[in-house]
Chain A
Amino acid sequence: MYRYDDYDQRLVDERVAQFRDQTRRYLAGELSEDEFRPLRLQNGLYVQRHAPMLRIAVPYGLFSSAQLRTLADIARRYDRGYGHFTTRQNIQFNWPELAKVPEILAQLATVQMHAIQTSGNCIRNITSDAFAGVAADELIDPRPWCEILRQWSSFHPEFAHLPRKFKFAVNGAKEDRAVIQAHDIGLDVVKNDAGEIGFRVLVGGGLGRTPIIGEEIAAFVPWQHIVTYCESILRVYNLHGRRDNKYKARIKILVKALGIEEFRRQVEAEWAFHKNGPSTLTEAEVARVAAHFVDPAYESLPATDAGYASLLEENKPFAAWVKRNVRAHKVPGYASVTISLKKTGVPPGDITESQMELVADLADAYSYGGVRATHQQNLVLADVRQSDLFKVWQSLRDAGLATPNIGLLTDIISCPGGDYCALANAKSIPIANAIQERFDNLDYLYDIGEIELNISGCMNACGHHHVGHIGVLGVDKNGEEWYQVTIGGDQGNKAAIGKVIGPSFAAAEMPDVVTHLIETYIANRHEDERFVDTVRRIGIEPFKAHVYGNRQTEKKVAHA
C-alpha cells in the first residue's frame, strides 16, 4: 500500500493542527455554527442523532494491520467499542465527543490516517476495486492512479467549496467492482490499440434523489493528461453547477441540463487551454507512485494445495465458506478472503474493536499485513495462501466473522438509517436484520444464488438501494416509517437503476415481500440465471403480481 513520505506526513500533521485550532475557535465562539459546519464536514465530522459522527478515510479501501489496530483503539477509547464500514470504503464512528476529535485525528496521523474530505462539498475519498492488484480479471492496477488523484484532490484550493459533494471511482478490471457508473466521475483504466494506458472517463452518474447512470465523456484520455482532464471537468462544474438548490447541485444535473455533447465541448475547451501544463504527469512520477503497489514477495506454490483440497472434501462448513467467501487469486496457490460483516442480527458493516484486532492479527500472520474495505461493507484479506485458509476460517468463525454469505441475499448493504442518522425517514438496520433472519437457512440461501439487496433509510441513497437487485428505500408517510421496493437495479458493467414495484410496505411486511420476490424468481428462472437477469428477461409485472396479490389476500385474511 501507499506509505507516506515526509511530505504526506507533514500535510496530515498540519491538518491536525489546523482542525485543532478551528475546533478551539468554534468552542470559543470565534467561529459561528454556520462557519464551522463546512469546515468540520470537510473533516468527516457530522452532527448526528446521538453525537458527532466521524468518518475516517480509507483511501480506495486499502489499509494495514497497524492502522486497523489504531481504529480498534479509537473505537475503545472514544466510541462504544465498534465502528461501521461504509459503501465508500471508509469507516465511521458514531459516538465520539466533538472536543476529543482533534485528539483522535492526532492519533490517526501517527499511523498515516486522516479524515480529510470524507464529507462536505469537495472531492471525497476515491473508491476502487477491493480486489485491485490481486484480481484474476484485472487489466491494469488502478491503485497508483487512485493515489495520484488522491494527492491531486487533497486540499485542492480551487475545489474546496464545490456546489456539492464530488465522488470518484476507479476501476481497472474486466468486471467493474467499483460502481464507476454511479459516480460523479468514473474512470476505467484501459489500454488502447497501441497498448498505451489511458482512461475511459464517465461523468454525471450518482444516486441520491435523482439517480443517474454516468455517461461517457471521453473514450480515451492518455494517462499523462488525466489530472488536467479531471481538473477541466471540475472547473466547468465549479463555475456552472447549480448553487441555488442543493438537490440540483450535483454534476449529474449539469450534465443532463447541458447534454453530454455540450458538456464535453465545454470541458474540452477548458482542457485545450491547460492540457500540457505543469500538472501533466511524467513517467517518473507514475513509476514512483506505482512502486508503492508492487506485489508482496509471493512464494511459488502449487496451483492447488493438497491439504486444502482434502479439507474441502472433509469439512462441509469450511467448504461452504470457501465457496462463498474465498476468491481466486492471480497468483497460484493464493486466494483472497472476504470477511463477512453481515452476520444475522449485527448491523451490516459493523465491527467491534476486538474483531478489528483479530483481523489485524490475521492480516499480519497470513496476508502480508494488508486489509481492504469493500463497498459492500465487508473486509478482505487479499493474499492468503490456500494452505492457511483453514486456520483463517477457524479464527474468523470463532469471532463471528465467517458467515458464508458473500454475494447472497443476507450480504445486505445497509445505511445506518434511523437508528443513527438524523436525515433518515425510516430505520434500515432492523429491516436488514429481519430479512437476514427470514433467510437464515443456508441451503435455501445458496439455492437463491447471487443477489444483492440494498437498503437506504432515505432518498439520499447511502445504502445504494437504486443499484440493488432488490432495493429498499425508507419513506415517510404521515410520520410513519414505510418502505418502497425496487427491483432490477444493478451495479457493475451493466449498471442499472431499479424500478419501483408499487406502493410501499410497513416494516413488518418486508420479510414477506422479499420472500414473494424470491418465490417469483424461483418459479420463473432459467437454469443458472441470477435474480436480476430474470427480472431483466420477464420484467417487473410477475413480481408485482405475486407480491401485491399475496398482500391483499393476507390483508383479507387478517380482517376476516
Chain B
Amino acid sequence: MPKVIRNRRVEDDARQIVRLAEGETAETVAIPAGPVLVPLAVWQARAEELAARGDVGVWLEAAEGAELIAADLPKLAAVAVNFPAFTDGRGYSTAALLRTRYGYSGELRAIGDVLRDQFQAYVRCGFDTLQPNAGRYTDAQLEAALASLGDFSVPYQGAVDEPRPLWARAQRGVAA
C-alpha cells in the first residue's frame, strides 16, 4: 500500500489515483472500487454517478485552477493537486485558494513530483497530505523526511497554516 504523510505522520493509504491512459476517455474510464482520486475531467463528465459513491476525490492538474472545483467541494471526499514538476509552483496558490477563498476543510493532498525539500511549503499552503511519486523515497527516507516539516521553526510571513505574520504572533526585538 502506498505511503503518504498525513498530518505529519507517515501512514499507509489506500486511495488510488486514477490517471487517464492513452486512448481512455473521461466518459468511459473504469473507476476502481474504494477510495479514489479522479482527474477533474472525469469528475466533470460523471459528477452525479461519482458523487453518489461518497468516497471519490478529485485531483487537479497544475493548470486547473481552484475555481473549477469550488462549487463541488462539499461532495468530495478529498482534493489533490498534482505537481508535474516540483518547480511548478502553481499548486501552492491553488491550495491557498481552496483553503481560504473557498473554505475547503477536507483532505487536501499534494501529489506528483512532491519533494521533501518542499514539504514545509506544502503544509504552510494548506496541504495536510503529501504523496511523493511512487518509488521516490524509500520508507526509511520518508520517515527521515518528516524532519523537513520543521525546517523553519518561525516563518516570517502568514500563510494558510498560520495566517498571522511573525510580528503579529510574537514579541519581536526592537533595535538596540
Chain A interface residues (CB < 8 Å from chain B): 2-3, 5-7, 10-11, 14-15, 17-18, 22, 30-31, 35, 38-39, 121, 151-163, 227, 235, 238-239, 243, 273-274, 277-279, 282, 285, 288, 291-292, 294
Contacts and interface: CB of A to CB of B under 8 A. Distances in A.
29 contacts: A6-B173, A7-B154, A7-B156, A11-B155, A14-B151, A14-B152, A14-B153, A18-B148, A39-B117, A121-B87, A121-B89, A154-B156, A155-B157, A156-B159, A157-B92, A157-B159, A158-B89, A158-B92, A158-B93, A161-B89, A163-B89, A227-B157, A235-B93, A238-B93, A239-B90, A243-B90, A278-B168, A285-B168, A294-B175
Contacts of A6: 173
Looking at chain B's contact residues, is the secondary structure mostly helix, strand, loop, or mixed?
loop
Interface stretch (B26-34, B68-76, B120-128): B120-128
B154 A278 contact: no
A152 B164 CA distance: 11
Nearest to B170: A7
B35 interface: no
Contacts of B159: 156-158
Interface residues of B, number: 43
Point out which of A30, A121, A154, A156 has the most chain B C-beta atoms below 10 A from its C-beta. A156
Contacts of A277: 158, 163
B92 A3 contact: no
A163 B87 CA distance: 8
Contact of B166 (A7, A38, A162): A7
B117 A238 contact: no
Point out which of B125, B153, B166, B167 has the most chain A C-beta atoms below 10 A from its C-beta. B167
A294 B151 CA distance: 33
Interface string B127-168: 000000000000001000000100111111111000111111
Interface stretch (B6-14, B15-23, B47-55, B94-102): B94-102
Contact of A291 (B120, B141, B158, B175): B175
Point out which of B86, B93, B124 has the most chain A C-beta atoms below 10 A from its C-beta. B93
B176 A3 contact: yes
B157 A10 contact: no
A18 B90 CA distance: 23
A291 B167 CA distance: 14
A3 B176 CA distance: 8
A155 B159 CA distance: 11
A5 B156 CA distance: 12
A161 B170 CA distance: 28
Contacts of B122: 157
B140 to A, nearest CB: 11
A274 B100 contact: yes
Contact of B65 (A15, A160, A239): A239
Contact of B172 (A5, A156, A163, A282): A5
Given A239-B94, A278-B158, A10 B89 contact: no
Given A18-B151, A161-B89, 4 more contacts: A151-B156, A158-B121, A160-B121, A274-B100
B174 interface: yes
A227 B170 CA distance: 19
